[in-house]
Structure 1
Amino acid sequence: MNPLELITRYYDGCSTGDVEAMTATLHPDVVHWFLAPNVGSAPVAGAEHLARYWRKVQARIDARWVVDHALVGSDEAVIEWTMFWRPPGGSERVATRGAEWFTITDGLIREIRSYYQQREHTTELDAFDYAARGYSTAGAEHSTLHRPAG
């Protein structure tokens, strides 16, 4: 499996809350680093712990992640993604745009460094034409690169 397939499978597991699907893509010693001051910005370590963390998040906010763009090497990848989700008590889904740096060891995700700010409203680049570039958009929670499971 190439790194992009590995990463999209990881996000498919995140989007469905499937712990087994996520752990199948994660190195046992994986560490996920988060940008502070987001809620829950402390690093999460260990494949099982990280998978259960995302299962809880997915269930709580009805999240779906889409890989929109990727630069991929043999043991590293940088992606842009969108997380579509529902703020607590809200009826409308919002989009959080972000970027992550992945390292891969022995064919598994070893490290994730995540760069985004999560707000209870859509956050994205001002005036960037997401649709024209094949990125996911409101009402179309998929990109030309990734059609998530679920």
Structure 2
Amino acid sequence: MSFTTEAKLELIRRYYHGCSTGDIDAMLATLTPDVVHYFLDPNPGSQPVISAEHLARYWRKVQQLHDGRWAVDAIVGEGDSATIEWTLFWTPPHGAARVATRGAECYRFRDGRICEIRAYYQQRPERSTELQDFPYTARGYSRLGREVSDLHPPPGAATT
């Protein structure tokens, strides 16, 4: 049976649900033990995170510090890979207003799990980062005040 784009999307949704709730077991269920997550330099914490256990603990810490909520906004899948657009809604330190960081990630899969993530985004804690004049709302993307997308509704909700 082939690993369809829909199956990849569902796996990434489950991974992001674990990230958004700090649920280590949920994240571990989606990752190969030797997963590597690469980050774009010079963002804070741009060193790769290696192993499922380390990655799950990393995102649990981020969740606890910043009340992060991830949403998948778009996906393209082919072969053993997929590329997504995502939004991370989070609260910077010191009582700053909630912001949205948008980015893209390239995923590789092995044996039905995520084995590699390459993240591309610019982290700006003082403000949201978005494409200027892009019609996020009209295209069903997540946004501040609606931290879900048409493609990534809350767990248990019907998907389109």
Gaps of 5+ in 2: 156-160
Matching residue's letter, 1:62: D
Question: Is 1:146 aligned to residue 152 of structure 2?
Answer: yes
Distance 1:6 1:74 in 2: 15
2:63 corresponding residue in structure 1: 58
Deviant stretches of 4+, over 2 Å: none
Q: Structure 2 residue aligned with 1:128, among 129, 134, 149?
A: 134
Q: Counterparts in 2 of 1:57-136, with a 5 A limit?
A: 57-120=62-125, 121-136=127-142
Q: Which residue of 2 aligns with 1:10?
A: 15
Identity of aligned residues (%): 63
Q: How many Å apart are 1:147 and its aligned residue?
A: 1.7
* SS of residue in 2 equivalent to 1:84: strand
* Greater RCO structure (CA 8 Å; 6+ sep): 1
| Letter matched to residue 45 of structure 2 | G
Deviation, 1:72, is: 1.6
Q: Distance in 1 between matches of 2:124 and 2:19?
A: 19
Does the residue aligned with 2:13 lie in a helix, a strand or coil? helix
Q: Among 42, 51, 71, which residue is 1:46 paired with?
A: 51
| Cα distance in structure 2, aligned partners of 1:38 and 1:91 | 19
Distance 2:153 2:68 in 1: 14
1:37-74 deviation digits (Å, cap 9, x = unpaired): 00000000000110000000110011000000000224
Q: CA deviation at 1:91?
A: 4.1
RMSD: 1.1
TM-score by length of 1: 0.96
Instruction: Give the drift of 1:10.
Output: 0.2
Say how many residue pairs are matched.
149
1:92 CA displacement? 1.7
Q: Give the letter for the 1:101 counterpart.
A: C
- Give the letter aligned to residue 128 of structure 2: T
Distance 1:62 1:3 in 2: 25
CA distance in 1, matches of 2:99, 2:76: 25
